[in-house]
A and B are shown apart, each in its own frame.
Chain A
Amino acid sequence: MELILAIGIGVLAGSGVFLLLRPRTFQVIVGLSLISYAVNLFIFSMGRIRLNAAPVLNPAANDPALYTDPVPQALVLTAIVIGFAMTALFLVVLLASRGFTGTDHVDGRER
């Protein structure tokens, strides 16, 4: 399971990096989204992946070993939100830049 997830993260990150280096703004925004998925999964995997562990506490059973690791999950939750804000902002910058420069090249001019 770990290997599959690791390969998945790697492919997401690799595709994202490739897109990040492309000349068109839309490619970059897709690339950034893919990188966010990869990074979120990467942070999440730092807590080790566990099948069928309880994410919600049962006050009666107070053994930490029974539950998933909440720390990476809380971090990823924040990361998802910030990623959303980043995508929205980048999208608008992209549109504004396209309007101002007349091109969707990331350098602001066609080569």
Chain B
Amino acid sequence: MSSEVLLTVLIVLPFLSSLVAGSLPANARNAEVWLAGAVALIGLAITISFYPDVTGGEVVRYEIPWLPSAGLNLIIRMDGFAWIFSMLITGIGFLVVLYARYYMSPKDPVPRFFAFFLAFMGAMLGVVTSGNIIQLVVFWELTSVTSFLLIGYWYHNANARDGARMALTVTAIGGLALLVAMLLVGHVIGSYDLEAVLASGNTLREHPLYTTILILMLLGAFTKSAQFPFQFWLPRAMAAPTPVSAYLHSATMVKAGVFLLVRFWPVMAGTDQWFWIVSSAGLITLVMGAYAAIFQQDLKGLLAYSTISHLGLITTLLGMGTPLAAVAAIFHIVNHATFKASLFMAAGIIDHETGTRDLRRLSGLFKYMPFTGTLAIIASAAMAGVPLLNGFISKEMFFTETAIRNPNMFANLALPIGAIVAGIFSVAYALRFVYGVFFGPQPTDLEKVPHEPPSLMRIPIEVLVLICLIVGIIPGIAIGPYLATAVVAVLGQDTPHYSLSIWHGFNLPLLMSIGALIGGVILYIMLRPYLALGLEGPPLMRRLVGQRIFERILVTISWKWAKTVERWAGTRRLQPQLFLLVLICVVTAWFALRPGFEPVKLQLGGWDPGFVILWMVGIFCAIAAAHQAKYHRLASLILMSGAGLVTCMTFVWFSAPDLAVTQLLVEIVTTVLILLGLRWLPKRFQKGDTDHTALRTKLRRYRDIVLGVFAGGGVAALSYAIMTRTAVPDGISRFFLERAYTEGGGTNVINVMLVDFRGFDTFGEIAVLGVVAITVFALLRRFRPAADSVEKPEQQRIQNAYDDLRPNRQSGDTVNEYLMIPSVIMQWMFPVIIVLSAYIFLRGHDLPGGGFAAGITMSIGFILQYMAGGTRWVEDRLRILPVKWIGTGLLIALATGLGAWVFGYPFLTMAFQYADLAIIGKVPMATALFFDLGVFVLVVGATVLILIALAHQSVRSPKAARSTVLPTHAVEPPPEPALETTAVETPALEIPGGAS
């Protein structure tokens, strides 16, 4: 297979299998493990297969163009450094999957766990192999999200929820800062391609924005890698299941921060700002983390603070800015991942077998679990930097670097002292871990008798500890070439000479190592009486909890400030909100447009009297509609439609027949829909504004009139100013006019634009229409009319009373006989309207018309049937299943769009041809016609669905509507509304819309 395919598989496979993992049954524990294990192993195999391609600074790249014009292409890029990270991610990932098989209880919902786990693996692989820095941020945030989901895996536990939320808040905010940093980098360099960024270190370092970029980038890296002052989220994240802690919060995700620092080390490091910020943050984290680790009572808490401290060590190394320190940093990333993952797994086993992680309750476990004990002791020794283990070598490299004489006073004193103090602390907490858990008196208050775990659960630890040993004893052979590959990929020509042997003679670093070891032992012995007290939290720092500060900030921002803002600017009432919105619009428009407004010369005269009269009517309709809308709804609705008709005729007047047709048809449907709704609104009788409360109402009304005048005047002035200017001669219209026929195959430019040039827009638009129709349907399914609208309308009551009084009439006869003759005509018109709609549909590509107009026409046919026959009559005979029509229409449009892909064109490319049909003649056959068919089918479905849902309300039984227990079957889905249970109680016929 080509490297392109392999790289794609490496990234995509975890995400795809995450979907599969999420859809397996809840008890498919073994299937999940096989799946996740196989994915990790395939990833590992792919990574290994790339080794020959990445040695010696070679890079494998696969670029998938996405938005080349914006410099945004998907680039999967594997170099030596990404390679060694991919090895960690897939290799440790596999071991953690194996471990999780035994760790997770059968009661835990494993599909969720493995789905998130695999998604995280994909995201993390995405971070390390991103060749585009924006893409890197996207994957970076994905790791934050998956980490959130995994920490909160046991969401019934409040600690897990809080820890997850805190981790997400901190790391995602860092991620946003990183995004800004990357955008700035792209702005400075002019490219988001990592290759280009790595090649322009000098440009970046000398740019005035360098410090800003650096701080933003460090915010991202420090939050992710839990560096001071953002270290507090990591101990809280220990509420996650232990496999997650082993994988995300020691081996991989928290390494993303230092990964970023290493990745950008060649271009960002070497400046004073870098040195001061990075090395001091790293040093503080290193010492503080190690100090806090000594005093933890929770096993995983101790490991978490130790992780923070080791990440601080790596950061300090990177901060120093020398190539040798960078080598040590990369080496320590790998070493730390191996020993810390195994320690977490050992802690998980202890928790699993004893039921507690509390160091005060654990002791003397070596007798019960000697194998696990031995493994944990070796791993702890590696953590403490004992010789012959991998931790020793990288730590000694660290001591070497700090001990170098430096003209800088801080570097000369603080670095070596900090290093040795942290070394002493780390020996002390490693001793506490080993001695406290495995030695000492018999454990007394454990829930169960501890014993060794299943041997397969121990295998991952055995493998990792073995690696610690091999790397510690024969580093040159075991890790040398791979480390060199990674180092060369980062440092390139600056790669220094370094030696990986364990013996460099008696020198200062060795003395520092020995001093740290002895000092650590002494410190532990001295601290034992204090530790025996079992106090929570480290002395001196107990009050200074980053977490508390974080929570206080969070409360301030999300509660206090939010409250204040709500009190000042918020309102639960719509009316003032709308007023403010309109006011802001008018005022901003005024300020924005005022400077550009040249005095416009009024063009009087040359008016067509017809047009003047037309708009006099229009203006009257608009103002009268506004005036009548409160007390005379029907009149207002008719006046509003009058304004709509004037609009429609204006379109005709100014040569826009397509708009006129659509406006007219939509006008009809809208009016009918609102008429249907009128029945459910309360009666309102006009009374004089006499009482004193009316004063406020009056004032508000005048205020709104003033605002309305300003808004209207502004719009009028703006449109007049634009209309009287000459148009830009070469606007984009020329493009469409020239190509509509030659490339779109239709003479109706508007229709060609809608179904062809801007097909994607139309696709979105019909999707909106479908969504609206389904929302309307869903809202009305549970519709409960207000109590005073439940009775039959007054008009019907009077009619029925009239019927009742006469012996030869039955109640409801008058309603039945209503519109007798017109209703026959309307029923006869139905086929005619269908033919008309087909005609409008077919001519659409060349003449005004099209799928939308045809669809509305068709639904007007249905409206007429409702008016003629009544709701029940139509519902009994309705052969349209509107929801299916909506779906079918959308699918037809989508299929037409996708069809273009088959022929190698972009989505929604249309083809056209003329076909010679017998009798009919030459017919244009554009694939746009199929697209338009989809539009037509969807519009019919959506409009009919809205209509049915509204009209159906009128046949609902008053009794059913009033009952307190709302029956869900009160409204059946429209396809079979006849199944309504309360049918006998309802009147036989009602005229929709006639009920207001």
Contacts of A86 in B (CB 8 A): 772
- Establish whether residues A27 and B630, one from each chain, have CB atoms under 8 Å apart when the complex forms: yes
A55-B655 in contact (CB<8A): yes
Cβ-neighbour of A95 out of B655, B677, B738 (below 8 A): B677
Main secondary structure of the interface of B (DSSP, over half): helix
Instruction: Give me 8 A-to-B residue pairs in the complex whose CB atoms sit less than 8 angstroms apart, sorted by A's number.
Output: A1-B608, A10-B715, A34-B640, A40-B663, A47-B727, A70-B753, A74-B753, A77-B750
Question: Do B750 and A73 touch across chains, with their CB atoms under 8 A apart?
Answer: yes
**Given A50-B654, A67-B749, A85-B769; 6 other pairs, CB 8 A cutoff:** A8-B646, A21-B575, A46-B722, A91-B674, A95-B783, A98-B785
Smallest CB–CB gap between A75 and chain B, Å?
9
CA distance A80 to B663 in the complex (A): 7
- Which residues of chain B come closer than 8 Å to A48, judged between CB atoms? 723, 726-727
Task: Give the contacting residue for A57; candidates B607, B643, B723, B741; CB below 8 A.
Answer: B741
Indicate if the CB atoms of B625 and A34 lie closer than 8 Å. Answer: yes
Residues in A neighbouring B840, C-beta threshold 8 A: none
CB pair A44 B722 closer than 8 Å: no
> Bound complex: CA of A16 vs CA of B625, how far in Å?
9
**Contact call A15/B656, Cβ cutoff below 8 A:** no
Enumerate chain A residues within 8 angstroms of B787, measured Cβ to Cβ. Answer: 102
Judge if B847 is at the interface, Cβ distance under 8 Å. Answer: yes
* A11 contacts across to B, CB distance below 8 A: 618-619, 622-623, 712, 716
Give the interface centre of B677, B719, B741, B749 by most chain A CB atoms within 10 Å.
B719
Chain B proximity of A58: nearest CB distance (Å): 7
Task: Determine the distance from Cα of A15 to Cα of B644 in the docked complex, in whole angstroms.
Answer: 13
- B707 interface residue, CB < 8 Å from A? yes
Q: Kindly list chain B residues whose C-beta atoms are within 8 Å of the C-beta of A27.
A: 629-630
Interface pair A107/B573, CB less than 8 Å apart: yes
B 730-770 contacts with A by CB, 8 A: 731-734, 736-738, 740-741, 747-750, 753-754, 758, 761-762, 765, 768-769
The segment from B327-335, B393-401, B598-606 found at the interface with A is: B598-606
Contacts of A41 in B (CB 8 A): 647, 650, 719
A7 to chain B, nearest CB (A): 6
Q: Which one of B574, B670, B719 contacts A9 once the chains associate, using CB atoms below 8 Å?
A: B719
* Closest residue of A by beta carbon distance from B782: A96
Question: Ordered nearest first, which 9 A-B pairs have the shortest CB separation?
Answer: A14-B712, A10-B716, A18-B708, A6-B720, A15-B626, A57-B747, A70-B749, A107-B573, A10-B712
Name A107's contact: one of B572, B749, B768 (CB within 8 Å): B572
User: Which B residues are CB-close (under 8 A) to A38?
Assistant: 712, 715
Interface residue stretch chosen among B466-474, B526-534, B773-781: B773-781
Q: Are A26 and B622 in contact, CB atoms less than 8 angstroms apart?
A: no
Q: Does B669 contact A (CB under 8 A)?
A: yes
Question: Which of A78-95 touch B at CB < 8 Å?
Answer: 78, 80-89, 91-95
Shortest Cβ distance from residue B629 to the other chain A in the assembled complex, whole angstroms? 4
From A64, A73, A92, B776 is in contact (CB under 8 Å) with: A92
Interface presence of B946 (CB below 8 A): yes
A68 and B615 form a contact (CB under 8 A): no
Q: Is the CB of B659 within 8 A of A76?
A: yes
On chain A, the residues within 8 Å of B637 by CB distance are 30
Q: Is B825 an interface residue (CB 8 A)?
A: no
* A55–B848 touching, CB < 8 Å: yes
The answer to whether A89 touches B772 (Cβ under 8 A) is yes
A104 lies within 8 A of B707 (CB)? no
Asked whether B579 is an interface residue with its Cβ less than 8 Å from the other chain, the reply is yes
Q: Return the chain A residue nearest B725 by Cβ.
A: A48
Interfacial residues of chain B within 330-358, with CB under 8 A of chain A in the complex: none
Chain B residues within an 8 Å CB radius of A80 = 659, 662-663, 666
A6 touches B655 (CB 8 A): no
Interface residues of A in 1-45 (CB under 8 A from B): 1-27, 29-31, 33-34, 37-38, 40-42, 44-45
* Contact partners of A99 in chain B: CB under 8 A: 680, 783-786
B647 near A7: Cβ-Cβ < 8 Å: no
Closest to A9 in B: B719
Partner of B615, one of A5, A13, A82: A5
A95:B680 contact, CB within 8 angstroms: yes
Contact A50 B655 (CB under 8 A): yes
Please name all residues of chain B whose beta carbon is closer than 8 Å to the beta carbon of A87 when the two chains form the complex: 670, 673-674
Residue of A nearest to B648 (CB): A37
Q: Are A52 and B655 in contact (CB under 8 A)?
A: yes
Residues in A with CB closer than 8 Å to B715 are 9-10, 13-14, 38, 42
Chain A residues whose CB sits within 8 angstroms of the CB of B731 once the complex forms: 69, 71
Selected contact of B747 from candidates A13, A24, A56, CB within 8 Å = A56
Within 8 A of A (CB), among B573-614: 573-575, 578-579, 582, 602-604, 606-608, 611-612
| B949 neighbours in A (Cβ, 8 Å) | 92
A87 to B669 alpha-carbon distance, docked (Å): 11
Q: Which residue of B lies closest to A105 (CB)?
A: B575
Contacts of A47 in B (CB 8 A): 727, 733
Interface pair B682/A104, CB less than 8 Å apart = yes
Chain B residues near A56 (CB-CB < 8 A): 747-749, 846-848
Does A3 contact B673, Cβ atoms closer than 8 Å?
Answer: no
Check B647–A21 contact: CB distance below 8 A: no
Distance to closest chain A CB from B201 (angstroms):
47
Chain A residues with CB below 8 A from B651, complex form = 44
Known A1-B606, A99-B783; judge A106-B574 contact (CB<8 A): yes
CA distance A23 to B949 in the complex (A): 26
The answer on a CB contact under 8 Å between A22 and B630 is: yes
Contact, CB under 8 Å: A102 / B786 = yes
A104 and B682 CA atoms in complex are apart in Å by 7
A13 touching B712, Cβ below 8 Å: yes
Q: Are B704 and A21 in contact (CB under 8 A)?
A: yes
Nearest to A24 among chain B residues (CB) is B630
Q: Is B657 an interface position by the 8 A CB rule?
A: yes
Complex Cα distance, B846 from A82, in Å, reads 24
A51 near B655 with CB under 8 A, answer yes
CA distance A51 to B656 in the complex (A): 10
The answer to whether A17 and B737 touch across the interface, beta carbons within 8 angstroms, is no
| Contact among B646, B709, B786 for A98, CB-based, below 8 A | B786
CA distance A37 to B618 in the complex (A): 11
Q: Does B45 contact A (CB under 8 A)?
A: no
Tell me, rounded to whole Å, the shortest Cβ–Cβ distance linking B679 to chain A. 9
CA distance A24 to B780 in the complex (A): 20
Which residue in chain A gives the minimum CB-CB distance to B716? Answer: A10
Q: Which of A21, A25, A38 has the most CB of B within 10 A?
A: A21
What are the residues of chain A within 8 A of B786 when measuring CB–CB?
A: 98-99, 102-103
| In the bound complex, CA of A58 to CA of B618 (Å) | 34
- Are A69 and B753 in contact, CB atoms less than 8 angstroms apart? no
Residues 692 to 719 of chain B near chain A (Cβ within 8 Å): 704-705, 707-709, 711-719
Q: Which residues of B contact A91 (CB under 8 A)?
A: 673-674, 677, 950
Q: Is B209 an interface residue (CB 8 A)?
A: no
A45 CB to closest chain B CB, in angstroms? 5
Verify B655–A53 contact, CB threshold 8 A: yes
Q: Say yes or no for B658: interface residue by CB 8 A criterion.
A: yes
Residues on the A chain within 8 Å of B227, using CB = none
Contact of A85 with B654 in the complex, beta carbons under 8 Å: no
Q: Which of B625, B644, B655, B713 contacts A68 (CB 8 A)?
A: B655
Contact of A92 among B636, B684, B749, B779 (CB under 8 A): B779
Q: Which of A12, A89, A107 contacts B575 (CB 8 A)?
A: A107
Does B799 touch A at the CB level, under 8 Å? no
Quick check: B713 and A14 within 8 Å, CB to CB? yes
A12 engages B722 (CB within 8 Å): no
User: How near does chain B come to A83, taking the closest CB pair, in angstroms?
Assistant: 8
Q: Known A12-B643, A73-B659; judge A5-B575 contact (CB<8 A).
A: no
Cβ–Cβ < 8 Å partners of A73 in chain B: 656, 658-659, 750
Contact present for A45 and B626 (CB under 8 Å): no
Question: Which of B723, B758, B779 touches A6 (beta carbons < 8 Å)?
Answer: B723
B633 contact set on A, CB distance < 8 A: 26
